[in-house]
Amino acid sequence: MNISRLARLTFWLPIALSVHSAWAADPAEVDPPVPEVPSLQSLRGMVPPDPSGTEGGRKVDLMTDYVLNRSAAILLGKALFWDMEIGSDGATACASCHYHAGVDHRITNQLNPGQANTNTNANVASIFNKPFVASDIPGDVATYATLSGGKGGPNYTLKKNDFPTHVLSNPLERNSPIVYSTDDVVGSQGVFDANFVKPNQPRFDKCTQQPDGLFQVGGINVRRSTGRNAPSVINAAFNVRNFWDGRANNVFNGFSPFGNRDPDAGIYVTSERSTVATKVRLALNDASAASQAVGPPGSPVEMSCGGRTFADIGRRMLDTLMLKQQRISSSDSVLGPVSGARRPTYRELIKNAFQPRLWNATQNVSVGGAPYTQMEANFPLFFGLAIQMYEATLVSDQAPIDAYLQGDHTAMNAQQVEGMNLFLGKGKCVNCHGGAELTNAASRLLMHPRERIERMVMADNLTTLYDNGFYNTGVRPTSEDLALGGADAWGNPWSFTRQYNTVLQGGRSVDPLDVDVCTFEAPLSAAIPCDATLKPNVGFRDSVDGAFKTPTLRNIALTGPYFHNGSRATLKQVMEFYNRGGDRRGEDANNTSGFEHPAVNQHNTSNLDPDMTALNLTPDEIDALVKFMEVGLTDPRVAWERAPFDHPSLVIPQGHIGDENAVTQRPASPKVTTRQATDASLNLKPYGAEGRPAAEGPLQPFYNDL
């Protein structure tokens, strides 16, 4: 068990937890020294920090310099998150991909054909479900069918036997023959392919539809789907970075997801001396949820016509009535007071929530060379901060594990306690899913920059640097999605580790880093002593290609499908993957899931996480682990959609009328100039603070929807 990555960073319980499955000793022997075992902590009482930082070089914080009224800002954030009008089509909200315990449970038209694949020869863009050529993996020579041999592709409805998407003849043996495999991803459908045109009427988006060569059935466009599965927004405000590749920066610039990286970012402010707004740089720390929030509304796949700016979204939304298409329960824990006949506009909500200096300018400002009001130009600032404040209320801290860790040992039964002990020991789950948030990517890293990079010993016994909370577990070959190993539009690596290496070689880092080599758990080598003043031109090996952010395991029973590619439908399938040591082929030292790094002491080195070895869990132990995760980690308020997890009504596009072979075309209209498929819809009822009625039952796992 590799405990080094958590030994310094994990919270430690003041009470002893049994971990007999990993640390049992013969009572006749003298007890050896017991290492510190990374453990778990109740989430109760923990709250995400309020952002603070600098604006134009001066120190600022959220409540003093931006927010006028916290309750009003949370109300605004909840309304914006659930409002279907935010999408260019008037039918797509942020919540459309995060409506079920914070994730997406739709099953039709959810596939993406592995568009992140860096192997252009393998990525045939004209079809889905291209055959997976096993000869791409050393030692395998055959070609296998995909998605149970079905056609798959646009508007396909997922079935139980489509999971897992990598099937072995013996699920306990990773080197057994491959039955089928695919690089298709279970993502989230968004919008039709279209380009934004400046409208004559600002309250309506004008978009030019165009034929989509990929997301279409019989020449009729269907909604596009994302290249990764949607993570949960519940507890996401604790994450140091968001999105699977960490591109939603810890620093919010008020404009885009990219923090200090974006040279065009800025907000517009007035002063006591002048009501003419000027543009200033903003850098608010501990605000990755705000950075994440401003990404999807402008995405031409997720929510927007291509080329629509956030100022354009503001122009459309400011005089729109809040949630005008949707119903709100009178007992909604946040929106109840404005659920009556006359709902406020977003302009009114912003004025109630934010300081006047952010919206009271008397003249227009220039954004991208075009004139906008200050309130329109600052709409991404309002949007990001308000949604972060709303998401900061979505803390699921009332699961049985929270009660158990606070001393109520009746909160979990014997099987679930056994599962918890396996989680801490033999199962090695806590190595990546530690602390109260059950993810190493969360704020228990205390936001210290030097703790964002760590060093570990790999399976080849060589050391490497990596970004805390981001690991390559070999779910798919690394070439299919570089994730953290990728770079932004300005050529900067997403990875803190690679930025650190750049600094060591005389370059600069766009993210704040203060690395002390003396704090690393694994020594590099005897030749490099503990010395924080390493000279330039020293580079360290890294393990960031194909590394993904560790998701929280809270409410995991309800948040399938699992992994970044949505490749597993049940927790048992997840545990089968880990129990066999992943899906790489060959001996333990091999890494056919990742890139080989040649010429380090003549070894072929690997970026695969060293914990990816066979666990040798018995069927009963797997059942105990699964029951612990299913029951012990589920907050009943999430399952029953009780406050703060209640919500307004929502109409969600779920594929199109028809199937993967033929779809019904949408009737022609002035707004639709190309052939588009008619949406099929999923209708969510509004629930107030009391949540779902008993007759309807709680939310169900993803597998139950198939």
* SS3 state of residue 554: coil
Least confident of 62-76, 388-402, 462-476, 679-693: 462-476
Pick from 180, 112, 124: nearest CA to 150: 180
pLDDT for 512: 84
Q: How confident is the model at residue 494 (pLDDT cuts 50, 70, 90)?
A: very high
Is the pLDDT score of 145 beyond 90? no
pLDDT for 594: 56
| Contacts with 81 (C-beta within 8 Å, 6 or more apart), sequence order | 93, 94, 95, 293, 387, 390, 391
Which regions of 473-588 does DSSP assign to beta strands (E)? 548-549
Pick from 546, 340, 375, 407: nearest CA to 13: 407
Q: How confident is the model at residue 501 (pLDDT cuts 50, 70, 90)?
A: confident
Is the pLDDT score of 409 beyond 90? yes
Prediction pTM value: 0.91
Across the range 176-182, mean pLDDT stands at 84
Is the pLDDT score of 13 beyond 50? no
* Average pLDDT value for the chain: 85
Q: What is the C-alpha separation between 483 and 564, in angstroms, rounded? A: 10
Peptide bond into 164 cis (omega under 30): yes
Q: How confident is the model at residue 121 (pLDDT cuts 50, 70, 90)?
A: low
Peptide bond into 380 cis (omega under 30): no
H-helix or E-strand containing 61? strand 58-61
Is the pLDDT score of 608 beyond 50? yes
Q: How would DSSP label each residue in 274-316?
A: -SS-EEE-EEEES-HHHHHHTSGGG-TTTT--BT--HHHHHHH
CB contact at 8 A, 184 and 122: no
Which regions of 563-644 does DSSP assign to beta strands (E)? 596-600, 603-606
Pick from 158, 116, 173, 292: nearest CA to 561: 158
For the stretch 216-220, contacts whose Cβ atoms lie closer than 8 Å and that sit 24 or more positions apart, written own/partner, are 216/154, 217/153, 217/154, 217/155, 217/656, 217/658, 217/660, 217/661, 217/662, 217/663, 217/677, 218/661, 218/662, 218/663, 219/675, 220/663, 220/665, 220/675, 220/676, 220/677
Query: What is the 8-class DSSP label of residue 651?
Result: E
Q: How confident is the model at residue 604 (pLDDT cuts 50, 70, 90)?
A: very low
Least confident of 200-204, 213-217, 385-389, 517-521: 200-204
Nearest-5° Cα angle at 388, 302 to 10: 105
Summarised one tens digit per residue, pLDDT across range 314-363 is: 999 999 999 999 999 999 999 999 998 789 999 999 999 999 999 999 99
Least confident of 89-103, 448-462, 525-539, 674-688: 525-539
19 strand-pairing partners: none
Across the range 259-279, mean pLDDT stands at 96
Across the range 158-174, mean pLDDT stands at 91
| Contacts with 612 (C-beta within 8 Å, 6 or more apart), sequence order | 459, 473, 474, 578, 581, 582, 584
pLDDT for 37: 41
Q: How confident is the model at residue 198 (pLDDT cuts 50, 70, 90)?
A: confident
Across the range 151-177, mean pLDDT stands at 89
pLDDT for 384: 98
More confident residue, 581 or 596: 581
pLDDT for 116: 87
Buried b (16+ CB within 10 A) or exposed e, 595-609: bebeeeeeeebbbbb
Nearest-5° Cα angle at 527, 526 to 532: 95
Structure tokens at 312: 């354009």
